[in-house]
Amino acid sequence: MTDSAILELERRNSLPDDLRFLVEKYPRDEWQVHANIHGMANMWLQRHDMFRELGGILSSAIADYREGRKTAREFAQFFAPRLNFFLGNLDGHHNIEDHQYFPVFARAEPRLKRGFEILDLDHHTIHEGLEANAETANAFLKALEGNDDAQRRAADQYADANTRLVAMLDRHLADEEDLIIPLILEKGDRGLGIG
């Protein structure tokens, strides 16, 4: 496997070792007691937790429908607004990161510049996953008006797209936190020019 393949979102297990020097200095289990956790770092973690929670809610909702715990109508009423909220907020979050925060962070710690480039590439991959998720979700919602076989096929296609998106998102969020939170802990909001 080539170096670039190892860095691809759906193939990697973590960021490369040369980008992990700050997370080794500030390991996850010490983040919540650090003086600089308040402000931007805490907001970042809360936002990511929201995305994880929403991904889990959508996965559970489709499972409830597929296993007969929700009718098609109940599922559609529950699912559509949450999916729209999830997809819209995730896309907006990535745009702000790419255009505002990542450039600031890369200037603050030039040794992490390649890491922010990797995260930016992740955003493009995730955006493709968001589009596939929205397409299969819309097809599924339309299929709810059809017969059981059409509903089942559309549910399976959406479940596959959602599983892929949630897996990509989980990897990306963990890697992003490993890069950004230790940097904020190291420099502080004001030191980064964000507070």
Tell me, what CATH number does 132's domain have?
1.20.120.520
Range of the domain at 168: 18-192
Q: Token pair of 140, please?
A: 């599924």
Element (H, E) at 7: helix 3-7
Q: Where are the alpha helices (H) located in 70-147, listed in sequence order?
A: 72-96, 102-108, 113-143
* pTM as predicted: 0.90
Instruction: Tell me the pLDDT band of 125, cut-offs 50, 70 and 90.
Output: very high
How far apart (Å, rounded) are the C-alpha atoms in residues 155 and 144? 9
Cα dist from 136 to 65, 115, 145, whole Å: 15, 31, 15
- The mean pLDDT value of the chain amounts to 91
Q: Is the pLDDT reported for residue 1 higher than 50?
A: no
Running DSSP on this structure, what letter comes out for residue 100?
Answer: I
Q: In a 3-state reduction of DSSP, which class is residue 69?
A: coil
Q: Is the pLDDT reported for residue 4 higher than 80?
A: no
Q: For 61-117, how does the pLDDT look when each residue is reduced to its tens digit (9 = 90+)?
A: 989 988 999 888 788 889 889 988 998 898 889 889 989 999 999 999 999 999 999
Residue at 51 is within a domain: yes
Residue at 9 is within a domain: no
Number of domains the chain is built from:
1
